[in-house]
Amino acid sequence: MPAPARTVRVSLTRTVDDSYDILIRPGLLAEIAADLAEARFGQAYALICDSTTEELFGRRLLADLTSRGLPAQLFGVPAGEASKSIETFAGLLASLKTARFTRKDCVIALGGGMVGDLSGFVAGCYMRGLPFVQIPTTLLAQVDSSVGGKVAVNVKDGKNYCGLFHQPRRVYIDPTTLSSLPRDQLLSGLAEVLKHALIADRSFYDFLLENAPAVLGLAPEAVSHLVATSCAIKAKVVEADEREAGLRMILNYGHTIGHAIEDAMAYALPHGQCVAYGMRVVARAARDLDLLPEPDYQAHETLLDAYGLATEPLRLDPDRIMTLALGDKKAGRDRLVFVVPRAIGRVEIRDDLDHAAVTRALGHILA
């Protein structure tokens, strides 16, 4: 018998509190510098924007930070998903190093989900992790990507393949930033909002249906309520399952087919709008399989119609969409995993949904 190995145990059990606040108020953007001066998340601030948000909000925020005596430097990347890359990530790391940022400093992500995911990943990796705050400026980022701490960049053939869980220290949402957002981007974010109601909250469904004109007209009170409710729904799911071991998967409602449509359309249609088609397809298959009662199915259709989402028939081949869906990373081995609606506000995760029924349901959204 060999002598027992000498064992040195490295004891690292720890309790972590990554809790943070999401602040939502029209006009908040002008108050962020003052709040940061008080919160002191960092000594200096690396403000990351894309070319659009730099122009719209970034320079102004930089001036606010500087005038409050907070050392800050702006780092711009080109707008567009192509910037959520390893190359841009490496470029930002080098720029932060040249500018002598340290672990005592803080990253600010100012922009849509692309800037949030990229900047959060930079913050999580630079010198093994800096604090960061999010200032989401698209609806999709305000209700979805800025909540939950998933940050990533894309690698060739792999969207979000290289990433971390790195929670922000605070999220600042100013709904008035949405007034410059192109209509199709607004609709894309609204699809994720509708998704939150459809998976988890019947009374939010009622609010969205009653207030569709106010929401589409960006009435500040309606939009603030919608953003806060959406964030609360996502936050509750994330609190229960931060690392996506189970429940968090319900946030993928509409995404199994949505991602395949996004792919089939070569990303010409914004993400949320593809998800809206995906939700219509799964709801119809669920109805046809007697999993979703007819009145709930009709209510589901009514809400998407009220927002003009996924109303135009697409010119795509259903078999190709199913093949693409089977290639999706969220799709088990050969059975597709679907988030299946059982009523408005209630879903379940299933891997036994009949693929033929889903293919038939696709006929409903195709030309």
Ligand X SMILES: NC(=O)c1ccc[n+]([C@@H]2O[C@H](COP(=O)([O-])OP(=O)(O)OC[C@H]3O[C@@H](n4cnc5c(N)ncnc54)[C@H](O)[C@@H]3O)[C@@H](O)[C@H]2O)c1
The residues assigned a catalytic role are: 128, 150, 192, 234, 244, 248, 252, 255, 259, 271
Residue 53 interacting with ligand X (CB under 6 A): yes
Q: Which stretch binds ligand X (CB under 6 A): 15-23, 144-152, 196-204, 350-358?
A: 144-152
Q: Nearest CA to 338 among 273, 277, 256, 259?
A: 256
Strand-strand pairing, 158-165 and 132-136? unpaired
Residue 54 interacting with ligand X (CB under 6 A): no
> What ranges in 126-269 are assigned the alpha helix state H?
139-140, 183-200, 202-210, 212-216, 220-240, 255-264
Q: Cβ closer to ligand X: 54 or 201?
A: 54
Which residues make Cβ contacts (< 8 Å) with residue 202, sequence separation at least 6?
343, 344, 345
Looking at residue 163, its amino acid is G
Q: Please tell me the distance from the alpha carbon of residue 113 to that of residue 291, in angstroms, as a whole number.
A: 34
Rounded least distance, CB 345 to ligand X, Å: 21
Q: Nearest CA to 191 among 115, 273, 113, 106?
A: 273
Residue 252 interacting with ligand X (CB under 6 A): no
Number of Cβ within 10 Å of residue 38's Cβ equals 8
Residue 180 interacting with ligand X (CB under 6 A): yes
Q: Which stretch binds ligand X (CB under 6 A): 46-54, 92-100, 288-296, 324-332?
A: 46-54
- List, in sequence order, every residue forming a beta bridge with 338; answer none if it has no partner: 350
- Out of 47, 115, 227, 237, point to the residue binding ligand X (CB under 6 A): 115
Residue 133 interacting with ligand X (CB under 6 A): no
Bin 114: left if φ > 0, else alpha if -120 < ψ < 50, else beta. alpha
Residues making up the chain, counted from first to last: 367
Q: Cβ closer to ligand X: 15 or 19?
A: 19
Residue 238 interacting with ligand X (CB under 6 A): no
Residues 95-114 that bind ligand X (CB under 6 A): 111-114
Q: Cβ closer to ligand X: 111 or 254?
A: 111
- Out of 47, 61, 79, 200, point to the residue binding ligand X (CB under 6 A): 79
Residue 64 interacting with ligand X (CB under 6 A): no
Residue 148 interacting with ligand X (CB under 6 A): yes
Which residues make Cβ contacts (< 8 Å) with residue 12, sequence separation at least 6?
none
Rounded least distance, CB 21 to ligand X, Å: 18
Q: Please tell me the distance from the alpha carbon of residue 282 to that of residue 303, in angstroms, as a whole number.
A: 15
Residue 140 interacting with ligand X (CB under 6 A): yes
Residues that bind ligand X (CB under 6 A): 50, 52-53, 56, 79, 81, 84, 111-115, 117, 137-138, 140-141, 144-145, 148, 150, 160, 177-178, 180-181, 185, 188
